[in-house]
Structure 1
Amino acid sequence: MALPTRRHRSPARWGGAGLPTRSWDPFTEFQQLWDQMGRLFEQGVEADATAWRPVAETEETPEAYLVRAELPGLRRDEVNVEIDGCELCISGEIAEEDRRNTLKRRAGTFVYRTILPTDADTGKVGCELSEGVLTVRVPKTAQGRSRRISIRG
C-alpha cells in the first residue's frame, strides 16, 4: 500500500496565498491569435496551392518602409519583385536539387505579398540581395514623413 505524499508548490510560481505571481494578459493571446489567423488567410488567398511563403519581416523607419525576405541560395535573376498599385509582390522558383549528403532546402514556387501604405513612393523602390536576404526599400513621400510641429503661445 502506497502512502500519500505531500505535493509541494514551486515558490517561484506561487505566492504565499496560493495564487500565481504572474497575471494573465488576454490581449497578448488575442494578438497572437490575430497574427496566426492573418497568416492562415494570406496563405489561403494564393492561387497556387503548392507555393510556399518565405520568412519575411517589415520595418518602418522615418524615411522608408523596409521588407526583408530570407531567400538563401538564390541569385538576382531567380527573384521577381513587382509593384502593382499598392501591392508589393516578391516571387520566384527554386529548382529541386539532387544532393546526397547535404541538407535539402525547400523547392518550388514562392510568393510573398504585402500591401504598401498610402504614403509609399512606389516610383523610387530599391532592392538588394545580399547573403540570402532580399531587402526591398520603399521610401516615403514628403507628405508621409513625420515632422515636429512647434507650438505657439
Structure 2
Amino acid sequence: MYRNSWLPEVFNDFFYNNNMPKANPTAPAINVLEAEEQYIVELAAPGLRKEDFNMSIDDNGDLHIKMEKKASEQNEKAHYLRREFAYSKYEQTLILPEDVDKEQVSARMEDGVLNIYLPKIKQNIQKVARQIEVG
C-alpha cells in the first residue's frame, strides 16, 4: 500500500483508501490536515447538526465518532409517495497519534463539515548549545 511521507503512518491506515474501496460506501468522506500545532479531521456531514454527533475518547486514547440522524416528523396533511432517507447511522474509531494532546481535543460543526481539532503536545526543545569548562 502507498504511504504518504508527510502523514503519520497511523493516519495512512485509516484515511488513505484510494487503492481499496470503502467498507461502507455511504460513510462520510474524511480529510486529514496537519498543521504545525495540530491535526484537523474534516468529516463531510451535509444536512446534519451538531446534535446528531456523539464523540468520545476511550481508555486507550482512541477517538470514537458516532452519528445518528432520524427522519423528521411526517407532515399530517401529506404523505410520502417515496421515502429513502428516513434514517442514517455512522460510527468510526480513529487511533490517534501519540503526539495528540487528548485532553484538548475539540470539534465544531461548520457549513456541513464536522471539524475535529487534535492539538499536538507541546514539546520543549532543549537547546544543546552551551559553553564547556575545561577542568
TM, length-normalised to structure 2: 0.62
Matched with 2:38 is 64
Relative contact order, CA 8 A, sep 6+: which one is greater? 2
Structure 2: stretches of 5+ with no match in the other structure? 4-15, 131-135
**Mapped partners of 1:138, 1:57: distance in 2:** 13
Aligned partners of 2:103 and 2:86: how far apart in 1?
A: 33
Two-structure CA RMSD over aligned residues (Å): 3.6
Q: Counterpart of 2:13?
A: none
Q: 1:61-103: per-residue Cα shift (whole Å, max 9, x none)?
A: 11001111011112221111111132112112122456969xx
Q: Which structure would you say has the larger Rg? A: 1
The alignment status of 1:86 with 2:61, answered yes or no, reads: yes
In the alignment, what sits opposite 1:23? none
For these two proteins, the number of residue pairs brought into alignment is 109
Structure 1: distance between partners of 2:57 and 2:21 = 21
> How far did 1:107 drift?
3.4
Q: Secondary structure at the match of 2:117?
A: strand
Instruction: Indicate yes or no: 2:11 matched with 1:31.
Output: no
Sequence identity, in percent?
27
Aligned residue identity for 1:90: I
Gaps of 5+ in 1: 1-29, 44-50
Give the number of the structure whose residues are more often strand, by fraction: 2
Distance 1:115 1:79 in 2: 18
